[in-house]
Amino acid sequence: MAAVRYLVRDADAALAFYTLEAVLRRESFAALRSAGARFRATLVSGPGGRQMLAEDPSGHPVELFESRD
């Protein structure tokens, strides 16, 4: 048996943040901001895809990645 414990300041805010479909488009960034996300960097594009580093409502880092496939 395994267990996962994820500490958050506000369970409702974390649920809203993590249930969004995160596609790296302008409207998605607005939805993530509305759900409490803060962005640590700008969108970076490379040969493998696009990525951005965000923080969830509790300040945990989250890497958003969209492959070119």
Residue 36: inside a domain: yes
pLDDT in tens, 40-64: 888 899 898 888 888 888 888 888 8
Q: Say how far apart CA 7 and CA 4 lie, in whole Å.
A: 10
Whether the predicted pLDDT of 22 surpasses 80: no
Residue 1: inside a domain: no
Whether the predicted pLDDT of 24 surpasses 80: no
Q: What is the pLDDT of residue 62?
A: 85
Residue 21 confidence class, pLDDT cut points 50, 70, 90? low
Domain total for the chain? Answer: 1
Residue 6: inside a domain: no
Residue 24 sits in a domain whose CATH number is 3.10.180.10
Q: What pTM value is reported for the model?
A: 0.63
**What is the span of the domain harbouring residue 47?**
11-67
Q: What is the pLDDT of residue 9?
A: 92
Residue 19: inside a domain: yes
